[in-house]
Structure 1
């Protein structure tokens, strides 16, 4: 499962090694123990960049191209990622807390042992992504597309799902029991392999009945 998420920058095991970042983001650059603090990055290209043991605090990224970027042991707090291209990026042992991701394309990305806590994800494309040991904790997922993605040991404690699409997804031990609500416009499509509660089953019963051609009358 994902590693514990520090609440403060100073609690990071590599906090004492961090150096402040200056200048623009660059493609294929290797950023090792770098602190990105409060900066604004707009329409920059950083495809193929590697971020190793880095911290992002209060950073705003708009239209930044991060295709095939790698995020390893990255901690991002209170940031805004708007209209960014994160397609085919790789995330491992990382955490995003209190952030906003809007209009982000993460198609074909790979996330492993990664936590999203207290985040808002809106209009995020995770089609064909691979998620393993990922937690969405106390988040809002609105218009998020997991179509054709693979979700293994993914959980959603305290998270609200609105217009979340799972058509064509392959789930294995995807735990939806802790979700506050299940807004799934595809209905039962993609739920095979998920774990849900009996209460959630009752809520989804009309969609299951409709899919099976069953008319329920009292």
Structure 2
């Protein structure tokens, strides 16, 4: 039996009742320009759905199954993805500032060109999770592993990166300015493409085994009032 074509819905306000109707049809759905603000979509099976330019402020997707879903151009401040299955999901050019992703499954999840300021990614399953050209300022990302990856143009400014694993990571155009780095690991990391502003010499011990530039070393020493000749 051939697969059913996706249902396409444009510029409608969508709530739980409408979503249940779509899921009962057994097809994947493409929502374009729809309003899902404050909708309770918790626990729904939304595998491989597509959300394009949707308004999702405070939407409740707690424990929803969003495996393979795609979000493009969506705005969802304070959205709730707690416990959701986001494996292989893709977020492009979205704004999910202050969203909750606590305990979500995020294996092979990708964020590209997104704003995740203040987002909470505590206790997530994150094998293969990647960020590119994304703002994670003031976000909570404790104990995530980025080992042996390349991180491109990501702003971690003032984020909680405690216990994160950055071993053998290459930073390209990133910011680690004023981040929380308690027990983070950087052995073998290449930090020459990272903004280390606000780093004190006492904090530099966290970067033991990493590579930094002469300019970065001079900036660290300048924090102590020392000059490098």
TM norm. shorter chain > 0.5: yes
Higher relative contact order (CA 8 A, sep 6+): 1
Aligned-partner Cα distance in 1 for 2:228–2:169: 36
Cα displacement string for residues 101-157 of structure 1 (whole angstroms, at most 9, x for unaligned residues): 111111222433333222222210112334445443123222111012333443321
Cα displacement string for residues 65-90 of structure 1 (whole angstroms, at most 9, x for unaligned residues): 21222322222111101211112223
Pick from 68, 81, 94: which aligns with 2:109?
Answer: 94
Alignment correspondent of 1:8: none
Cα displacement string for residues 20-76 of structure 1 (whole angstroms, at most 9, x for unaligned residues): 147646223332221111111122322222322221111111212212223222221
Contact 2:187 2:207 in 1 (8 A): no
Alignment correspondent of 1:40: 55
Aligned-partner Cα distance in 1 for 2:213–2:175: 15
Aligned-partner Cα distance in 2 for 1:152–1:31: 35
Alignment correspondent of 1:19: 29
Alignment correspondent of 1:191: 207
Pick from 139, 160, 163: which aligns with 2:154?
Answer: 139
Q: In 2 relative to 1, CA 155–89 (structure 1 residues): closer, same or farther, beyond 3 Å? A: farther
Alignment correspondent of 1:166: 181
Residues 59-138 of structure 1 aligned to structure 2 (within 5 Å):
59-138=74-153
Alignment correspondent of 2:65: 50
Aligned-partner Cα distance in 1 for 2:228–2:113: 45
Aligned-partner Cα distance in 1 for 2:175–2:66: 30
Unaligned runs of 5+ in 2: 1-26
Aligned-partner Cα distance in 1 for 2:217–2:116: 30
CA drift of 1:172 comes to 4.7
Is 1:155 matched up with 2:170? yes
Q: Going by fraction, where is strand more abundant, 1 or 2?
A: 1
Q: Paired residues, what number?
A: 196
Pick from 185, 188, 196: which aligns with 1:182?
Answer: 196
CA drift of 1:217 comes to 10
Aligned-partner Cα distance in 2 for 1:174–1:26: 41
Aligned-partner Cα distance in 2 for 1:188–1:174: 13
**Bigger-Rg structure (1/2):** 2
